[in-house]
Structure 1
C-alpha cells in the first residue's frame, strides 16, 4: 500500500489533471451520447465543466460552479464529484463546503431531464434530495480525510524538528555545564597548585647556591609559568559555548541578532537599533532573551509571525518580542519550562526586569528592560 502511494505521488500533477478531464469527458459522452443533438446548450455547459477540471487545483470553487450543469443531465456525474473532492481537500472554510454540498444536492434534485421532446420528468422529492446529498458528502468526506492526513504529516515533521532542536539544546546545555564545572576546577585547584609550584621554584632559585639546583629551579619555574598561561587559555575555551560549532567562538552579542532571526524557523522581523556603548553582559542578555522567545514561538505558536523590537529609554535599553496568535493548534512538546525563569533571573542580576504574558489579540509578548551599562 505504501509503495503504491509512493508511486502515485511521483505522478506529475498535470498528468493527473489531464487524466481526470479525460475520464470526466468519457463519462459524459457515454451517458449523454443519445441526447447529444437535443440538448446542445446543456451539453456545452457540461463540456465546459469537464474542461475546467484542469484548473481545479487553483480555482476549486469556480470549477465546482462550472460543474453543476452536468448534474442537470445525469443522475451521477463524475465532474461535480471531482470538483467537490478538490474543494474539500483544499479549502478550510467549512461553511463554504457545506453550502456547496447543499447546492449540489439541490441542483441534482431539480426536475430532469431537460431534453426537448421528452415526456418523462422526475419531480424534486425529499428522497431524491437525500440521495444527492449523500452522493455529495462522499467526495467531501474523502477530501477532508486527505487534507487531515496532509496536515498530520506536516505536524509530525514539525514535531520531529522540534524534538531534534530540543535534544540539541539539551545536549549543548549539558556540555556547557560540564565545561563550566571543569573550568572552575582547573581555575580553582590546578591553577592554584601550579602557581604555588612556580612560587616555590622561584624561592628555591633565589635561596640555593648550587648551580645545578638553581638551574633546575629556574626550569621548574619557567615550565610552571608556561603551564599557567596554557591553563588560562584552556579555561577561556571551556567557558565558551558548549555547542560543537561554536566551541571556539565568543559569547553572542547584538551583532549576531540578524543571524539568529534569520535562522529562527519563524517569520520574524527585526527593527530598532541600540548604541555601541551597550555593555557586553547586557548584549548577551538581550541576545538570550530573543533566542528563548523565538524558540517558544516555534514550539507553542506554529504558523505565527514575530516582531523583535530593540529600543532605548534614557539610560535603559531593552527588547520586545511580540508574536501573533498561532494559525494551527499547538502540539504538546517536551520542555524544561525553565526558559523564562532563567531569563528573569538573568535580568535581575543585571538590575533589570523581564515581563512576559499574552496579548489582547491572542499572541504573546516578552519584554526585557536593563541598564545601558549593565555589567
Structure 2
C-alpha cells in the first residue's frame, strides 16, 4: 500500500495513542514548533548533558607503546605523567567519571594473567594518581583479562576453551586490587556466567561495600571492537573469537535474561555494548527493569564518525552530537564515549 494513500495515513493515525490525535491539517501544523531555535529547544523531548558522559582513557607506560592509535584518530594512550592534566580537564568540564584501560607490554602478558592482580600494575597506579590529584572525579576500572592475557581472551584459556569458574576466581582478585587502589566502580566486561555475585561477595569481604558494580550485562560479539583491541594491544594475540561468551548479535530476549541475572547477583547498574547497533536493547532493558542503564559508544563507532568527519564526508561534530543524543533517546542514563571531552566542550559552548 503506498505510504501517501489516504487509507495508509488513516491507519497510521489510528494506531497512535488517542491523546496524540489532537487536530488535523491545516489547523494543526507541527512545523510551527520547529520554526525557531528557541521553540525547538523548548519542546525537545530528549536532552543531552555533560553529566551523561563517561570518558574512557587508554594508559601506557612511558617506556613503551606509541601514544597515537592509528585506528582512532584524535585518541592517545596517556602516560601517568600526562594523566592528571587530561583528567583534570575532564573534571573541569563537569564529566562525572573516567574509565581506565591499560596497554600492557607483551613481556608482562601471560596465560595466567598475574599482571591483572598485581597491586602495582599500570591500572592501579593510575587509579591512585587520579584519586590523589583529581579527587573530585569518579574512577571506573574494567574487570576483564584481555589486556593481560597472552591469548587475548577476557578469561583464562585451557585447550582452546575459555574457562568460566576459574576465570571468575582471578576476576574477583582483580576487582579487589582495583578497589584497594581507590577505584569507585568496577565494570566487569568479561561475560563469564555468575561473576557479578562472586565479585560482589569478594568486594564486601575485603571491606569495599561502597564500591559499585556496573555489569557489562549485554555485551555482544561485535565487529566494532577492532580499534579498541589495537589500543590495548590485545588484538594480535587473540586466538579464535569471543562468541562462546559474548552474545550473538541476533539475540534480544537473551539480553533481558542476562540483565536480570546480573541484577539479581548485585549489579548496581548495567551496560549495553556496543551502543549504536543495539539501541533497541537499551530501550528494552530500560523499560523492563527501570535501573541505571549505560551504553558504550565503542571504538568502531567512534572511528567511523571521526574518520568520516576528517574526510569531510559528514559533519563530524554534528554526527557526534546526534549519535550521543540517540543513546539518550533510547533510554541510556550514561554513555561511555571517546568523544566525552569534545562533546562536553560543545555543550559548554551552547
Q: Bin the TM-score by the shorter chain.
A: under 0.3
State the TM-score, normalized to the length of structure 2: 0.23
Bigger strand share: 2
The structure whose Rg is larger is: 1
